[in-house]
Amino acid sequence: MKWLALIAVIATGSLLIYAVSDFPDWGSASSPANGGVEGAGRSVSQTFIEETDTLTHVPNIVTAVLADYRGYDTMFETVVILAAGMAIFAILRVLRDTEKPVDQSKHDPSIDGDHQRIIIGTTCRLLIPVIQLFALYVVAHGHHSPGGGFQGGVILGASFILLGLATDLETAIARFSEKQFIGLACVGIFIYAGFGVLGQFYGRGFLDYGALQPIFMTDGEPMARSHAMLGVEVGVAFTVTAIMFAIYANLASKGELKNGL
């Protein structure tokens, strides 16, 4: 059986290596990724590179492609993240109280806790605001420099996870409760889809940000697209933040949202 597997692997591998010879040369101008096939029209990437700045006024082409040209794709990517969080919730979360209820008033949700944690508590107090501020910067600057909703959301979620790791889960949950993070995750999708539906009120297509020009009161449609992209990124950041923390909280406490790691 092992030999059979080895033969299959070698056969597949040599087929793949054989296929490499059909690849375009490294950096070849006529490869589809660079300039398009000879004789055909302008390639897709060429179109993005040349027209993004005039059509959207967004310097970061990657964000423009993600949030505008492929808006549907990104929207449902965000929905996938929400679905992942909901799946973990559905599988792990223990909703019945198996033990007798813990007296919540006894738990001290301050970061420092007892004196043994004072070094960790002080560091958290010092770092978490900086991390969260940087996360907001990454979200807000997503269409001007590398960053965006997913990255900023992950950083923001990580700041809450750091709090949960450094102290205990109750301390983090006291600041970002289950009701809040599940709500925030749905609000994120709602914001994204809302920007799409808003365009339909002006008789244009779903996720056609140019139609939002009267709402944003910009000079032209390109600037409206830029603003709408920022709004969409904020929605993505909401969902990613909430789901990051939800996944951590459920996995770390076996779905009980108590004690944690």
Residue 241 beta carbon to other proteins: minimum distance, rounded to whole angstroms:
21
From 23-31, 50-58, 114-122, 205-213, span contacting other proteins (CB under 8 A): 114-122
Distance between CA 225 and CA 246 in Å, rounded? Answer: 32
Q: Output phi, psi for 52, to 5 deg.
A: -60, -45
Q: Which is nearer to other proteins, 123 or 200 (CB)?
A: 123
Residue 210 · residue 225 · CB < 8 Å? yes
Pick the piece of the chain touching other proteins (CB under 8 A) from 88-96, 112-120, 190-198, 206-214: 112-120
One of 62, 86, 92, 120 touching other proteins (CB under 8 A): 120
CB of 205 to other proteins, least distance (A): 41
166 lies in the site for other proteins, by CB under 8 A: yes
d(CA 212, CA 217): 8
Q: Give the one residue of 95, 116, 179, 203 binding other proteins; rule: CB under 8 A.
A: 116
Task: In whole angstroms, give the CA distance from residue 119 to residue 100.
Answer: 33
For residue 48, count CB atoms less than 10 angstroms from its CB and return exposed for 0-12, middle for 13-18, buried for 19 or more.
middle
Instruction: Say whether residue 127 binds other proteins (CB under 8 A).
Output: yes
236 lies in the site for other proteins, by CB under 8 A? no
Q: Please report, for residues 69, 126, 146, 218, 238, the alpha-carbon distance to residue 152 in angstroms, rounded to integers and kept in the order given.
A: 21, 19, 10, 26, 9
With tokens 């040369």, the residue in question is 25
**Which of 17, 119 has the CB closer to other proteins?**
119
| Number of residues lying near other proteins (CB under 8 A) | 7
Q: Which residues bind other proteins (CB under 8 A)?
A: 116, 119-120, 123, 126-127, 166
